[in-house]
């Protein structure tokens, strides 16, 4: 029996992506050689990375003048690469969670950082919307989905400067107006592929404007020029990413994925709001469609572990909240089927019947 996989990352991938990856590990594109053992410079792998880049552009409607890159180092490396490549004098950041906080820390190594708003004092339970954006920022950095806290920015910000976004946990879950961004990055292990590759979409024009020396591997221009093949790219996760992107296209693209995400999250939040023993933790208008965070209501806190065990018995896994916040977190990434959400809701209702 398959598990209902609510892990936050690495997380569920579609059977389509996993099955095709297994096949390619045995025999890649009819070459008689494993995907794991063939040159990244083979024409078969070149076709993979080319198609993956094209599909990213097609699915997100990336305008002319942007490059799609496949880099190692995780989203966390982008926390440094972004300011290294784009921060001349001053950048604005929104402090909306642990990942945003880490991005701010790295940016401070390279220039002046204005934290325009922070929800830290309230345990990052909401997404700040009320703040001034000063003139003259090189960029405004946002973390569109706060994976740990379950808050999300539901629309692209209208800013007088370019945006830069960490979309690690909600990329391909909604339409994005890419033209507003100088850079978008996403670690693959939430909505795209196994860990090991980071997708970066960067505006070519935004590069080459800083004075500092940038190490070759950390300079986006290196990877733009070489089509992410300056050195050996993470071949396996790029292959899986391509399968996921093909699957997304088949499902109807990001508009359809957004509808599915809204439906799944809507059902789960409704169940939480109608429960007497569970309650949501983030401000309603900022609730994430990807990571649903909730806790036991006062008086029932001691049942937290019982509920996790109750779920495990029903093949529902991965709902324990992040170690820094506790409670529960159900991650509803694109590959998670509606039936898994329904299984979790049924478990919540049955548990409540027993305990309340
Ligand atoms: C998971 C995550 C990260 C960290 O990604 P790594 O690839 O592990 O560095 C950064 N930002 C967000 C929003 C995430 O969800």
Query: For residue range 35-73, what is the model confidence (pLDDT) as tens digits?
Result: 999 999 999 999 999 999 999 999 999 999 999 999 999
b or e along 232-259 (b: 16 or more beta carbons within 10 Å of the residue's beta carbon)?
ebbbbbbbbbbbbbbbbeeeebbeebbe
At residue 301, the 3 state secondary structure works out as: helix
Residue 279 exposed, middle or buried by CB count within 10 Å (0-12, 13-18, 19+): middle
**Residue 119: other Cβ atoms inside 10 A:** 22
In this structure, the residues whose C-beta lies within 6 A of any atom of ligand 1 are 9, 74-76, 99, 143, 147, 166, 168-169, 187, 190
Rounded Cα–Cα distance for residues 89 and 29 (Å): 48
Q: What is the CA angle 70-336-201, rounded to 5?
A: 20
Report whether pLDDT(136) > 70: yes
pLDDT band at 295 (very low <50, low <70, confident <90, very high): very high
Checking if the pLDDT of 306 tops 70, the result is: yes
pLDDT of residue 356: 81
CA distances in angstroms from 236 to 14, 15, 38, 197, listed in the order given: 16, 16, 11, 9
Question: At residue 279, does pLDDT exceed 80?
Answer: yes
Rounded mean pLDDT, 278-287: 97
CA of 137 to the centre of ligand 1 (A): 24
Burial readout 196-229 (b: 16 or more C-beta within 10 A, e: otherwise): bbbbbbbbeebbeebeeebeeeebbebbbeebbe
pLDDT for position 169: 98
| pLDDT higher than 90, residue 12 | yes
User: Which stretches of 217-283 are assigned E, i.e. beta strand?
Assistant: 278-280
Query: If pLDDT is split at 50, 70 and 90, which confidence band does 324 have?
Result: confident
- Give the residue whose CA is nearest to atom 3 of ligand 1: 75
C-alpha triplet 335, 282, 118: angle, nearest 5°? 110
Which of 77, 127, 142, 147 has most ligand 1 atoms within 8 Å of CB, for mutation?
147
Q: What's the mean pLDDT when you consider all of the chain?
A: 97
Q: What pLDDT band is residue 230 in, cutting at 50, 70 and 90? A: very high
State which of 79, 168, 234, 332 you would mutate to test the pocket of ligand 1, scoring each by most atoms of that ligand within 8 A of its C-beta: 168
For 343, other C-beta atoms within 10 Å of its C-beta total 17
Q: What percent of the chain has pLDDT over 70?
A: 100
pTM: 0.98
Q: What is the mean pLDDT of residues 117-136?
A: 97
pLDDT in the model for residue 325: 85
Q: Which two tokens stand for residue 76?
A: 């966390």
Average pLDDT over residues 123-134: 97
Residue 330 CA to ligand 1 center (angstroms) comes to: 17
* Residue 70 falls in the annotated catalytic set: no
pLDDT at 323: 85
Average pLDDT score over residue span 319-343: 95
219 catalytic residue (yes or no): no
Identify the band that residue 1 occupies on the pLDDT scale cut at 50, 70 and 90. low
Q: What percent of the chain has pLDDT over 90?
A: 98
Q: Distance (Å, rounded) from C-alpha 340 to C-alpha 221?
A: 42
Question: What secondary structure letter does DSSP report for 63?
Answer: P
Cβ–Cβ < 8 Å for 331, 324: no
Two tokens, residue 219: 């300079």
For the record, the structure tokens of 43 come out as 């024409």
Could you tell me the CA-to-CA distances from 337 to 4, 13, 89, 341 in Å, in that order?
9, 10, 45, 7
In order of start, what are the domains of the chain with their CATH numbers? 15-251 (3.40.640.10), 253-355 (3.90.1150.10)
Note the pLDDT of residue 143. Answer: 98
260, 69 contact by CB (below 8 A): no
> What is the chain's length?
356
Q: Which of 138, 166, 170, 286 is catalytic?
A: 166
Helix (H) or strand (E) segment spanning residue 244: helix 235-251
pLDDT digits (tens, 9 = 90+) for 153-183: 999 999 999 999 999 999 999 999 999 999 9
Residue nearest to atom 12 of ligand 1 (CA): 168
pLDDT at position 299 over 70: yes
């Amino acid at each position: 029996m398959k598990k209902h996989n609510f892990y936050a990352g690495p997380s569920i991938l579609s059977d389509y992506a996993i099955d095709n990856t297994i096949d390619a590990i045995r025999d890649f594109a009819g070459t008689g050689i494993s995907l794991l053992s063939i040159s990244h410079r083979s024409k078969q792998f070149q076709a993979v990375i080319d198609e993956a880049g094209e599909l990213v552009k097609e699915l997100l409607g990336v305008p002319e003048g942007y490059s799609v890159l496949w880099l190692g180092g995780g989203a966390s490396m982008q926390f440094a690469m972004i300011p290294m490549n784009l921060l001349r004098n001053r950048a604005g950041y929104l402090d909306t969670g642990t990942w945003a906080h880490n991005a701010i820390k790295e940016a401070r190594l390279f220039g002046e950082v204005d934290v325009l708003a922070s929800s830290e004092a309230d345990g990052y339970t909401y997404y700040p919307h009320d703040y001034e954006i000063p003139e003259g920022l090189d960029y405004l950095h946002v973390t569109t989905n706060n994976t740990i806290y379950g808050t999300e920015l539901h629309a692209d910000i209208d800013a007088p400067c370019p945006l830069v976004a960490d979309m690690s946990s909600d990329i391909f879950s909604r339409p994005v107006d890419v033209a507003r961004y100088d850079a978008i990055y996403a670690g693959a292990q939430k909505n795209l592929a196994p860990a090991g590759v980071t997708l970066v979409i960067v505006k070519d024009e935004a590069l080459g404007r800083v004075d500092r020396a940038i190490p070759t591997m950390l300079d986006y221009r290196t990877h733009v020029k070489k089509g992410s093949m300056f050195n050996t790219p993470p071949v396996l996760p790029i292959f899986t990413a391509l399968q996921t992107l093909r699957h997304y296209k088949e499902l109807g693209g990001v508009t359809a994925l957004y509808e599915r995400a809204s439906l799944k999250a809507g059902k789960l939040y409704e169940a939480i709001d109608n429960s007497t023993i569970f309650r949501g933790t983030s401000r309603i208008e900022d609730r994430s469609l990807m990571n649903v965070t909730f806790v036991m209501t006062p008086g029932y806190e001691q049942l937290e572990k019982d509920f996790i065990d109750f779920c495990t018995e029903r093949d529902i896994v991965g709902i324990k909240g992040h170690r820094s916040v506790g409670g529960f977190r159900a991650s509803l990434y694109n590959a998670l089927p509606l039936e898994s959400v329904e299984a979790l809701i049924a478990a919540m209702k049955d548990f409540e019947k027993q305990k309340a």
